[in-house]
Chains A and B, each alone.
Chain A
């Protein structure tokens, strides 16, 4: 046993270092009762506004000990990370994001239905529609928007065209006279931009939970795209979001179809030269396009309960107070989700907001369905094929419908 003594030092060392290292454990994530973790996916321009709202909230009576941790993710990352974190059992308390991600979370049971927790009667139907599924409400709308509209540069075109016929009439002159690259710019491969035109032909991508992509209205809308692109050459060929954005900022196009998220950025660059109007009426059908409308919503993790839930509720109420909603409208050009505020004289005085509100009021709420994801995906793929003339419109739409049905089946079976 003498040898044990000889090597006793080694074992002692081992034990001592173990004890020492026990306090070397690096500090992990804190998630105590006084910390509210908020995840969001806003553009960098919005972060200061959000921070100031959160800071104001901390100064409210009763919130002295509260600390709020705001974490930013890309939209896609937010969706994935929230899912992963929920699986691991440590989700954030609140997420703020577009309602189209709410569908997935609601199906997998990671967010709370909020009926009865809030007075939802004050919100507009455009704001509530996108967060309603199976008769339950899954998020508190903090703004209504994300709708497309026609934006124009008044230096180049003093008036917005009221109909597609008018658009076709002014465009050739504009392009020649002002030396523009094109008349109108938008991302033709992105199905979100197809929706307003589809509605102008009387269509809608879904009927209940089923995709309706192979319909006469879709065909008409797609053919209208081909006309814009190839016959009239009004819209650039290979133009993604960055491309259309640059064209408009460089004053190489007079019109752009873009969402309300771009208003603040364009306004700061162009000042009063920026105009907003409804997307022009489709002359051949006499219908006005109705873009999809969503907005931003506050969703609560299903792990949230007790005192923390109360704090989260207070935060949502605080965010949608008149004062903060109007401030949001002033700073970010976002339309209040509270319906009576849309008519506030303060907002109506601003021509830009007025145009945006007019378009919003005729927009159709985006359905809160996971199926929508499949529609965007199939739509993007085949719309690209059709507009690049890799396939005929008829063939493309048939395949789009089939692909979309397959994807939904994969997802939900």
Chain B
């Protein structure tokens, strides 16, 4: 995709205004993150303080040390990583094929399928927890990665399919037709031509699956009860008690787990904009 941008503002002050507005927006967007960092550096175990300084008096990294040393933080991270990566891969594979079918074929149930996908987003998700638990229990998937991965990859499937279908629609059919004239099967054309061209959308679907699974709490709470299988969300919330919460450690943990997501975002940022195509711009 070629980068096409609008013309540059003509006047110098225009650029300044744009920069000023963007800087203001950035500050608003990252300020809470900075505050969490500040809580994690705060000595003693306090969430709230009248102190607005981002580096508090007597700042210390003790919370970081204790969250890594005194808890199973690394194990939680490892579990989260396994579940998240597996979820993202499976989710993207399932969505990329299904999206292709919706984009290129007319088959009975085509529109119905797409509507149903939208419909799944309308169910108040938490209400499915009790039946979900009973089912997972019957299938013996309590405390397994498999149970988590199935639940996660399926639940972000509808959105991924929409994204990928939207993107495939922008890929000209003539490319596949040419390949099929040369004797490739339709699936071969999809695999060799359409998929590589759709890297941005695949990256977005991956990213979306990744963040959704990485940050999930409710389903994990239901499926996992063995602390050896805990994901970081469950682990970190263990620091939150009925009355006493280890705010310092909680914040330090939060900062540490935000880093991988930020890195994934940073890495995929070149596709982020071009890949999120929910519908095509016909131009």
Q: Which of these binds chain B: A68-76, A197-205, A317-325?
A: A68-76
Q: Which of these binds chain B: A26-34, A307-315, A405-413?
A: A26-34
Q: How large is the interface on A (under 10, 10 to 19, 20 to 34, 35 or more residues)?
A: 35 or more
Asked, given contacts A72-B227, A72-B238, A77-B221, whether A242 binds B47 with beta carbons under 8 Å apart, the answer is yes
**Residues B241 and A43 in contact, CB atoms below 8 Å apart:** yes
Asked, given contacts A29-B142, A249-B44, whether A42 binds B134 with beta carbons under 8 Å apart, the answer is no
Asked, given contacts A81-B225, A84-B222, A242-B47, whether A265 binds B244 with beta carbons under 8 Å apart, the answer is yes
What residues of B have a CB within 8 angstroms of the CB of A87 in the complex?
A: 130, 134
Q: Which of these binds chain A: B24-32, B82-90, B113-121, B143-151?
A: B143-151
**Residues B137 and A26 in contact, CB atoms below 8 Å apart:** no
**Residues A84 and B246 in contact, CB atoms below 8 Å apart:** no
Whether A136 is near chain B, meaning CB under 8 Å from some CB there, is: no
Which applies to chain B's interface (DSSP): helix, strand, loop or mixed? loop
**Residues B242 and A43 in contact, CB atoms below 8 Å apart:** yes
**Residues A28 and B140 in contact, CB atoms below 8 Å apart:** yes
Query: Closest Cβ of chain A: how far from B157's Cβ, in Å?
Result: 21
Whether B269 is near chain A, meaning CB under 8 Å from some CB there, is: no
Query: Closest Cβ of chain B: how far from A373's Cβ, in Å?
Result: 15
**Residues A90 and B137 in contact, CB atoms below 8 Å apart:** yes
**Residues A28 and B142 in contact, CB atoms below 8 Å apart:** yes
What residues of B have a CB within 8 angstroms of the CB of A43 in the complex?
A: 241-245
**Residues A71 and B242 in contact, CB atoms below 8 Å apart:** no
Docked Cα-Cα span, A350 to B44, in Å, equals 24
Mask: chain A, 226-244; 1 = CB below 8 Å from B; 0 = not: 0000000000000001110
What residues of A have a CB within 8 angstroms of the CB of B93 in the complex?
A: none
Query: Which residue of the partner chain, among B46, B50, B146, B241, contacts A44 with CB atoms under 8 Å?
Result: B241
Of chain B, the residue at the smallest CB distance from A24 is B146
Docked Cα-Cα span, A176 to B281, in Å, equals 67
Docked Cα-Cα span, A27 to B44, in Å, equals 42
Of chain A, the residue at the smallest CB distance from B135 is A88
**Residues A74 and B145 in contact, CB atoms below 8 Å apart:** no
Whether B45 is near chain A, meaning CB under 8 Å from some CB there, is: yes
Whether B62 is near chain A, meaning CB under 8 Å from some CB there, is: no
Query: Which residue of the partner chain, among B225, B237, B239, contacts A71 with CB atoms under 8 Å?
Result: B225
Docked Cα-Cα span, A285 to B146, in Å, equals 63
Mask: chain B, 193-217; 1 = CB below 8 Å from A; 0 = not: 0000000000000000000000000
Query: Closest Cβ of chain A: how far from B133's Cβ, in Å?
Result: 5
What residues of B have a CB within 8 angstroms of the CB of A250 in the complex?
A: 46, 49-50
What residues of A have a CB within 8 angstroms of the CB of B46 in the complex?
A: 245-246, 249-250
Whether B48 is near chain A, meaning CB under 8 Å from some CB there, is: yes
Whether B240 is near chain A, meaning CB under 8 Å from some CB there, is: yes
What residues of B have a CB within 8 angstroms of the CB of A242 in the complex?
A: 47-48, 245, 247
Whether B141 is near chain A, meaning CB under 8 Å from some CB there, is: yes
Whether A259 is near chain B, meaning CB under 8 Å from some CB there, is: yes
Which of A28, A41, A71, A241 is the most central at the interface, judged by chain B CB atoms within 10 Å of its CB?
A28
Whether A261 is near chain B, meaning CB under 8 Å from some CB there, is: yes
* A-facing residues in B225-274 (Cβ within 8 Å): 225-227, 237-247, 249
Query: Which residue of the partner chain, among B146, B243, B247, contacts A262 with CB atoms under 8 Å?
Result: B243
Query: Closest Cβ of chain A: how far from B189's Cβ, in Å?
Result: 25
Of chain A, the residue at the smallest CB distance from B46 is A246
**Residues B133 and A69 in contact, CB atoms below 8 Å apart:** no
What residues of B have a CB within 8 angstroms of the CB of A28 in the complex?
A: 140-144
Asked, given contacts A81-B221, A246-B46, A269-B44, whether A261 binds B143 with beta carbons under 8 Å apart, the answer is no
Mask: chain A, 259-283; 1 = CB below 8 Å from B; 0 = not: 1011001000100000000000000
Of chain A, the residue at the smallest CB distance from B228 is A69
What residues of B have a CB within 8 angstroms of the CB of A3 in the complex?
A: none
Of chain A, the residue at the smallest CB distance from B243 is A261
Query: Which residue of the partner chain, among A27, A71, A74, contacts B144 with CB atoms under 8 Å?
Result: A27
What residues of A have a CB within 8 angstroms of the CB of B242 in the complex?
A: 41, 43, 74-75, 261
What residues of A have a CB within 8 angstroms of the CB of B241 in the complex?
A: 41-45, 74
Docked Cα-Cα span, A153 to B138, in Å, equals 54
Docked Cα-Cα span, A28 to B141, in Å, equals 6
Docked Cα-Cα span, A71 to B225, in Å, equals 6
Docked Cα-Cα span, A255 to B137, in Å, equals 49
Query: Closest Cβ of chain B: how far from A52's Cβ, in Å?
Result: 15
Mask: chain B, 165-209; 1 = CB below 8 Å from A; 0 = not: 000000000000000000000000000000000000000000000
Query: Closest Cβ of chain B: how far from A140's Cβ, in Å?
Result: 20
Docked Cα-Cα span, A46 to B238, in Å, equals 11
**Residues B145 and A259 in contact, CB atoms below 8 Å apart:** no
What residues of A have a CB within 8 angstroms of the CB of B142 in the complex?
A: 28-29, 90
Mask: chain B, 101-144; 1 = CB below 8 Å from A; 0 = not: 00000000000000000000000000000100110011011111
Docked Cα-Cα span, A252 to B48, in Å, equals 12
Query: Closest Cβ of chain A: how far from B148's Cβ, in Å?
Result: 11
What residues of B have a CB within 8 angstroms of the CB of A81 in the complex?
A: 221-222, 225
Mask: chain A, 52-96; 1 = CB below 8 Å from B; 0 = not: 000000000000000001111011010001001001101000000
**Residues A84 and B237 in contact, CB atoms below 8 Å apart:** no
23 contacts between A and B (CB under 8 A): A28-B143, A29-B140, A29-B226, A43-B242, A43-B243, A43-B244, A44-B244, A45-B244, A71-B226, A74-B242, A77-B221, A81-B225, A242-B47, A242-B247, A245-B46, A246-B49, A249-B45, A250-B50, A261-B243, A262-B243, A262-B244, A265-B45, A269-B44
| A interface list, Cβ under 8 A from B | 25-29, 39, 41-45, 69-72, 74-75, 77, 81, 84, 87-88, 90, 241-243, 245-246, 249-250, 252, 259, 261-262, 265, 269
**Additional 16 contacts, C-beta under 8 A, given A29-B140, A42-B241, A265-B45:** A26-B141, A28-B141, A43-B244, A43-B245, A45-B246, A69-B226, A71-B227, A72-B238, A84-B130, A87-B134, A88-B138, A90-B142, A242-B47, A246-B46, A246-B49, A259-B243
Q: Which 7 A-B pairs have the closest CB atoms?
A: A43-B241, A28-B140, A88-B137, A246-B48, A26-B144, A43-B244, A29-B142
